[in-house]
Amino acid sequence: MGSGRRVVVVGMGIRSPVGNSLKEFVESLREGRSGIRKMSEWENIRRLRTKVAGICNIEGEEKGIPRNCRRSMGRVSVLAALSAIDAVRQSGLREDAIASPDCGISYGSTAGSTIEQVELIGRFILNSDLTGALASSYLRCMSHTCAGNLSTLFHLQGPFIASCTACVSGSQGIGFGYEAIRSGKAEIMITGGAEEMHFLHAAVFDLMLATSSRYNDDPSKTPRPFDAERDGLVVAEGAGTLVLEEYEHAKRRGAPILAEVEGFWTNGSGVHLTDSDAPSIERCMRSALGDARRSPEEIQHVNAHATATANGDEAEAVAIHRVYGSHVSVTAIKGYTGHTLGASGAIEAVATILMMREGFLAPTLNLERPDPHLPPLNHVIGDPVDKRFTVAVNNNFAFGGINTSLILSQV
């Protein structure tokens, strides 16, 4: 028991704009597929600059979730549940091991189901009428709807953690699950994050002039992380789930060990609610290294948050350069998926683990000419690179000045 306990990944599941299975997701990274499309349904929204987004195709899949559970699920919980069902299936864990006090949940999203929130608030505020409103409306849109619905779906009795911290919700979900196992509070944790699409998500960033609009008629060319021609982020939806387990517990049952979570850190910048801050990002990465008892020289790859905003990419590039210099390879996958907000940390952790296991580095899609005003990083550009690596970093940042850094390794 205690801090010496190791934590491993034994199952993963994904729903993303470029694939709903691990196999399809890897193929998209290898083949440079963009999941960004033009949102014709946004054409009549006045003053909305961005008209592109990343959408998941899950038509008909929700029938794989028991009907009695679906009643309390909005789209965000459905995405979470579909990815979690796949992850639990891959883990090989028995139902009684999952439905026990030894197994908990640590899962996040930005704000529950925005679709359901708008429906409920619209009825009440605009019409002063709750006629037709469902008794399950709140359960679909509450901030911890993903964690709550997954807990019920799998009959979990262990620790319950819901991270509702915008774009680090998924990475904190993994990190807090790792901490629960390492400290002896659980043997197994279902972790990750999810997000559903609604134009209000785009509007939040659009009002701050942080969205991409230059490529509305050429959606596969945006976003452009670290590129000199980047013009902002592209909102997207998705879900990523990682089943974590204590190493000896997993070994005893012959579990498929996919990776190890060696370290995690999260901190606040204390500087600004929206602007990324290089010094606090640097502190976060160094603290995650300390948690993993690793030196910067041991890290072989960095999966960057890289939203393709001017300030965000600059702050992260400065921090990565200060900690790792120019030798470590750097990839950002938002060129493929868009910014999946509360799901991004989990989806990008899945991407990092898949590349580590498959022995390749995906290029940063749409990165053609690195911004010369940023510190020089060892970007992966053009074609995938065959490379075996065993230790990697996954970074994510969010409004509120929140930073996260995960250290992932091959066992």
Active site residues: 167, 305, 339
Q: What are phi and psi of 407, to 5 degrees?
A: -105, 120
Residue whose tokens read 């089943």: 243
Cα(300)–Cα(93) distance, integer angstroms: 31
Cα(390)–Cα(406) distance, integer angstroms: 14
Beta-bridged to residue 386, according to DSSP, are 360
Q: What are phi and psi of 292, to 5 degrees?
A: -85, -5
Beta-bridged to residue 391, according to DSSP, are 409
Which has the closest alpha carbon to 43: 282, 216, 232, 205? Answer: 216
Beta-bridged to residue 195, according to DSSP, are 238
Which has the closest alpha carbon to 210: 70, 71, 50, 331? Answer: 50
Secondary structure class of 364 (helix, strand, coil): coil
**Residues in CB range of 62: below 8 A, 6 or more apart:** 70, 78, 82
